[in-house]
Amino acid sequence: MACDPLLPWFKSLRNAIGENTFAYDWQGGNEPLLDYYYNKKNNELLESILKTDLEIQIPKEDQGENLNKRISKRMEAECCDLISVLPDLQESNYGDWINDFFHSMKQIRRSQGSIMGIKEPWISEFFPALFRNDNSSRFILIFRDPRAVLASMFKADMNGYEKIGQPLSVLRHWRKQANLFSIYSKDAELSSKIHMLRYEDLVNDPISTIKQLIHKIDLNFEDSMIDTNRFTGYSESATPAGNSSYETIQSGIQKWPIDRWRDTLPDHLKQLCELVCGQEMIELGYPMEIVEPRQLNWINEYELWEKNKEFSWRTDMENLLADIALEILRQEVIDGKKIVDDSIIKQLFYKQEVLKDLQKVNKP
């Protein structure tokens, strides 16, 4: 199920964990999900999220109609068939709510299969809690070259489709996924429940990539799994037309858009991308092209571009020079040029083991 329908549920869960962690010193509201970098309090919140389960009471202000209204709004675009189940979801804790939601989704879609799923962005910090709630859960982390991610956003902005996320914030969330995957890959239980998939591998070799994926979730390969003409759009009468900032209608699995970012992404956004995500990009098989993004000869152009934008969401400090200085410090720590104490390492990398993994990555 697409369209990130449960984002309000994850925000509510984040807020409940924040209230349990910081008591009255927490105001989450409808703020975006966090990237947890460069902020001691947010870093403490991440530690609480990674340790928690879902036996947490849903706050009274989010029980019943209030939370369900926000979820319903998210469902309208691509899964409006599920809106009808929301009034029946009156459970008082998050674990019971999500269990009943999946049960209801299976019933309304009359699914004979054993697997139901949702697609949500930036929620990998909740994987451990979801797994503790149901140890039959499986998780798929999908990565795409972050330069292509920004190129798609940039094109959407050029087309006037909608406000876009602030690029620095988007890149930190991309990096969050990579750093958490590094942490989870060392967890004896969770590592076997998570499958990492690169978009580029999927379109270059769909059969092999899908076979690896379905092996992880105990399914057998069928040709229909890569036949986009047989995909079902539950809020549409016809086969889904795809989702692209460049084309209105797509069919099949196409390779050629993979490197489109090279011609469409402005240099200042390429520079920002490789400054923020460079080491993780190399770790995941995305070679860097900028020799030294820390020279910052691109920063004025980026700053001028950003000043003319109104973003749909952001999680940065809203002080570009301070943000960039922290990104440079992070890279200097990776390079061994700066030594910082453990509390700063947590704010830069979440855990010492993430830093150690990044220090093993060889630059070109």
pLDDT digit of tens for each residue in the chain (364 aa)? Answer: 446 889 999 999 999 999 999 976 777 788 999 999 999 999 999 999 999 999 999 998 888 788 989 999 888 877 888 898 898 888 889 999 999 999 888 888 776 566 788 889 899 999 999 999 999 999 999 999 999 999 998 887 766 566 788 999 999 999 999 999 999 999 999 999 999 999 999 999 999 999 999 888 888 888 888 887 777 766 655 555 566 655 555 667 778 788 999 999 999 999 999 999 999 999 999 999 876 666 788 899 999 989 888 898 999 999 999 999 999 999 999 999 999 999 999 999 999 999 999 999 876 5
CB atoms within 10 A of CB 146: 28
Question: Which tens digits make up the pLDDT trace of 189-239?
Answer: 999 999 999 999 999 999 999 999 988 888 888 888 888 777 776 665 555
Give domain status of residue 197, yes or no.
no
Give domain status of residue 214, yes or no.
no
Q: Whole domain around residue 34: which residue ranges?
A: 1-118
First to last CA, the chain: 39
- Using CA atoms, how far apart are residues 90 and 6, in angstroms rounded to an integer? 15
Give domain status of residue 213, yes or no.
no
Of 118, 148, 163, the one marking the end of a domain is 118
Give domain status of residue 351, yes or no.
yes
pLDDT at 283: 96
Of 81, 98, 118, the one marking the end of a domain is 118
Number of structural domains in the chain: 2
Give domain status of residue 16, yes or no.
yes
pLDDT at 234: 67
pLDDT at 148: 95
Q: Which residues contact 82 (CB under 8 A, 6 or more apart)?
A: 1, 5, 75, 104, 105, 108, 234
**3-class secondary structure for 327-344?**
HHHHHHHHCCCCCCCHHH
The alpha carbon of 114 is separated from its chain's Cα centroid by a whole number of angstroms, namely 25
Q: Model-level pTM?
A: 0.92
pLDDT at 3: 63
Give domain status of residue 326, yes or no.
yes
Contacts 24+ apart (CB under 8 A), 156-164: 156/245, 157/309, 159/245, 161/245, 162/312, 163/310, 163/311, 163/312, 164/309, 164/311, 164/312
Of 55, 90, 118, the one marking the end of a domain is 118
Question: Which tens digits make up the pLDDT trace of 312-331?
Answer: 899 999 999 999 999 999 99
- Using CA atoms, how far apart are residues 108 and 111, in angstroms rounded to an integer? 8
